[in-house]
């Protein structure tokens, strides 16, 4: 993990132009609401609450345009058939930001960009129910999402925001031995999409 962090720091320092308007390091954290989309009526899914936290780097190339990246630990909880599946990951969002400043220290921003996710927790989850034989979920080692965000710059140091992270790649593979599911397709490959609410403190 340390090697990954220093590698990202080296890449960032290499691409930052000398005429950048501003560079700020900070800490970002918040809560998330994650739901798996499963194309099968036999398997019920609901949103679960988790959290994320980690360092972030913001670079303003112009007063109205910049990028922001982060390297954060995330715990995302999803409910499938009334059971909670916990995914522990390192997430790497890289967003292009449009800054709509009211003055030098406050305003609004819009953000969008890719998010890479690397599983660092358990890769398999199993549970049994009286109405089923056995369900097994295998998490993928990595995921790819696309973020759409909006937020407010409250001061030089504090920002709050919200992000919808759309699942592009598969979260994992679900084998549900349910009569109705087996009649349709007993190997399901759901995607996870997440709402994030965050606060960021820049030093």
- How many angstroms separate the CA atoms of 53 and 48, rounded? 17
pTM (2 d.p.): 0.78
What's the pLDDT score for residue 179? 46
Of 84 and 157, the one with more pLDDT: 157
What's the pLDDT score for residue 9? 52
pLDDT tens by residue, 146-193? 999 999 999 999 999 999 999 888 777 666 555 444 455 545 667 788
* Start-to-end C-alpha separation, the chain: 23
**For residue 134, is pLDDT > 80?**
no
pLDDT tens by residue, 27-73? 999 999 998 776 655 566 778 899 999 999 999 999 899 999 999 99
- How many angstroms separate the CA atoms of 43 and 135, rounded? 10
Instruction: Show the 3-state SS of the chain.
Output: CHHHHHHHHHHHHHHCCCCCCEEEEEEEEEEEEEEEECCCCCCCEEEEEEEEEEEEEEEECCCCEEEEEECEEEEEEEEECCEEEEEEEEEEEEEEEEEEECCCCCEEEEEEEEEEEEECCCCEEEECCCCCCCEEEEECCEEEEEEEEEEEECCCCEEEEEEEEEECCCCEEEEECCHHHHHHCCEECCEEEEEEEEEEEEC
User: Given its phi and psi angles, is residue 20 left (phi above 0), alpha (psi -120 to 50 degrees) or beta?
Assistant: beta
| Complete edge-to-edge strand list for the sheet that includes strand 124-127 | 124-127, 135-139, 172-176, 187-188
pLDDT above 90 covers what percent of the chain?
A: 46
What's the pLDDT score for residue 6? 54
| Side-chain-facing half-sphere of 168: CA atoms under 13 Å | 13
Whole-number mean pLDDT of the chain? 80
Q: Which of 98-102, 114-118, 136-140, 175-179 has the lowest mean pLDDT?
A: 175-179
- How many angstroms separate the CA atoms of 80 and 138, rounded? 13
């Amino acid at each position: 993990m340390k090697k990954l962090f220093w590698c990202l720091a080296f890449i960032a320092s290499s691409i930052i132009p000398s005429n950048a308007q501003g560079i700020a390091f900070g800490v970002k954290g918040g809560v998330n609401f994650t739901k798996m989309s499963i194309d099968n009526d036999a398997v019920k899914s609901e949103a679960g609450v988790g959290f994320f936290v980690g360092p972030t780097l913001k670079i303003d190339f112009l007063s109205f345009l910049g990028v922001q990246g982060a390297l954060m630990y995330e715990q995302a909880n999803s409910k499938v058939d009334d059971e909670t599946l916990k995914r522990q990951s390192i997430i790497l969002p890289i967003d292009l930001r449009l800054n709509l400043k009211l003055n030098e220290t406050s305003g609004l921003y819009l953000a969008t960009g890719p998010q890479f996710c690397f599983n660092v927790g358990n890769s398999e989850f199993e549970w049994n129910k009286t109405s089923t034989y056995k369900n097994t979920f295998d998490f993928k080692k990595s995921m790819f999402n696309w973020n759409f965000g909006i937020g407010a710059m409250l001061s030089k140091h504090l920002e709050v925001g919200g992000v919808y992270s759309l699942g592009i790649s598969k979260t994992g593979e679900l084998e549900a031995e349910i009569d109705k599911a087996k009649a349709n397709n007993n190997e399901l490959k759901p995607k996870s999409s997440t709402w994030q609410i965050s606060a960021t403190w820049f030093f």
